[in-house]
Structure 1
Amino acid sequence: MKKILLVFLLIFGIKSWSQQEENYEISFSEALATHLPSYKQKADKAYRLRNFEEAEVLYDSLVNHKLAGSFMDDFSFKNLKGKEVSLSKFQKPVYLLTYASWHITGKGELPALNELAEKYRDVIDFVIVFWDEKKTAKNLSKNFNRHISVLYVDETENEGAFVVKQLKHSLGLPTCFLLDDQKQIMSITRKAIQPYGISKEESFKVNYESIENGIANHLLMQKQKKRNNINLALSPE
């Protein structure tokens, strides 16, 4: 009888532990700590050998298979009034883009982003984070639609070291994070450099399609899946 009880407790314990593991939500910072060192070592070697294709494959593997699916930490930034704003403030899915003042955007990038922010303002929160001082972020904010929240982190103030390390120095910039309403990372992409000599109209089209495809394939699709699951759960058998 004791042996049977022991076996039962062992099976129950393993099952309970397994379920806890399945339900455990790994944070973005935890995923970075686990996988970034190995990626950097391999990527540095690829860049030294000028194997840029291999470096790109390594990056895609990192963000798609190691970081996507983790949950973004509740990082804090500052708004243009200098007040702290946490990611948890945004209740909708989030289109999060990290920028710097010295980054040269494509001719049609900002117009495309502004138009899409207007189009999806009811279902998505658009957030731009500048790694700059308040004055610079405030001046740059004039380029963005009023439905885009412009935030900043000023490294010279010796504040926000953790968020800077995680979001700026880990993957570089500009980087785009697509987060669902629970702040789970659906996708991470780096902004591609557009071909030299491309017209403003072409640039707008390229950026508009790229941004909207990301939104449709990740944020809106995820929202629809959750809605379907809720309807399925509420429907009578």
Structure 2
Amino acid sequence: MKRILLLLFFIVFGLNLQAQTEKSDKLYFSEALNMHLSKYNSKAEAAYKYRKFEKAEKLFDTLIDTKLKSTYIDNFKFLTIKRKEIALYDFKKPVYLLTYASWCIPGKGEIPALNELAKKYQDKIDFVILFWDKRETVKELSKQFDSHINVLYVDETKNNHSYVVKNLKHSLGLPTCYLISGNKQIMDIQRSVFHPFNISKEESFKLNYESMNSSITNNLIGNPLEPESIKLSAVPPK
């Protein structure tokens, strides 16, 4: 009996030790930012100052690819339109998180493309739009989004020292897209599609749809089961 109890003790102890080791091995997004953001900012500011935009973009991509990818997103907390607090870890599926603000106008085809993709992948992915705005503004803006998209907000005027504001808004700017796996590991961080202002709504939709769909299939659900080209049914009404 003693041997059995001793064996059980070592099994439980080993499992706890393994769990603690795995937990300690995780590097979180906020920790990685704290280590590398200052150096990135100084180089990026110099690049923008001298109008070296390609270099600035390369610096951003390098920061993401070498320092922030594969880290684990923190369990940031937001508010729903109904003023209910919700944590990022409350979402159990992979998360497509896009940060916005009312004064940051998306491309004319961006929201329609996002709405189509939210309907397409509703069973596989949680789509989250995070606004840095007041509730009244966000409530009005939320009408643009499909019902399968979770529209959340953080009012910075009331949370100007907030941990989430510091890390998700003031670190990488906006709009910024975070592709987060089911275990909350960051698969990629991307900026929105930028295209000429004078293209049609249909062209803008196609560019955004293809870019978002590629990001989703490559990072959150594996290989697509259908071609990435847009079907006629996916084109939004004029």
**Structure 1 and Structure 2 fold alike (TM over 0.5):** yes
TM-score, with length taken from structure 1? 0.83
* Residues 84 and 191 of structure 1: CA distance in aligned 2, closer, same or farther (over 3 Å): same
The amino acid across from 1:51 in the alignment is K
Alignment partner of 1:142: what SS?
helix
CA distance in 1 between partners of 2:126 and 2:159 (Å): 28
The amino acid across from 1:201 in the alignment is E
Give the match for residue 33 of structure 1.
34
CA distance in 2 between partners of 1:77 and 1:176 (Å): 16
Number of aligned residues:
206
Equivalent residues of 1:176, 1:191 under 8 A apart: yes
CA distance in 2 between partners of 1:175 and 1:190 (Å): 5
Q: CA RMSD in A?
A: 2.0
CA distance in 1 between partners of 2:197 and 2:132 (Å): 26
TM-score, with length taken from structure 2? 0.83
Of all paired residues, the percent bearing the same amino acid is 57
Equivalent residues of 1:46, 1:55 under 8 A apart: yes
* Residues 139 and 160 of structure 1: CA distance in aligned 2, closer, same or farther (over 3 Å): farther
Q: What is the correspondence of 1:16-27 to structure 2 with a 5 Å cutoff? A: 20=21, 24-27=25-28
* Residues 160 and 219 of structure 1: CA distance in aligned 2, closer, same or farther (over 3 Å): farther
- String of CA shifts for 1:174-205, please: whole Å, max 9, x gaps: 00000000110001001132212110110110
Unaligned runs of 5+ in 1: 1-15, 223-237
Q: CA deviation at 1:58?
A: 0.4
Structure 1 segments, 4+ long, off by >2 Å, are 20-23
CA distance in 2 between partners of 1:23 and 1:165 (Å): 24
Give the match for residue 95 of structure 1.
96
Q: Which range is displaced more, 192-201 or 131-140?
A: 192-201
Q: What is the correspondence of 1:1-237 to structure 2 with a 5 Å cutoff? A: 20=21, 24-158=25-159, 161-221=162-222
Give the match for residue 235 of structure 1.
none
Give the match for residue 10 of structure 2.
none
Q: CA deviation at 1:44?
A: 1.1
The amino acid across from 2:214 in the alignment is N
- Greater helix share, structure number: 1
The amino acid across from 1:86 in the alignment is A
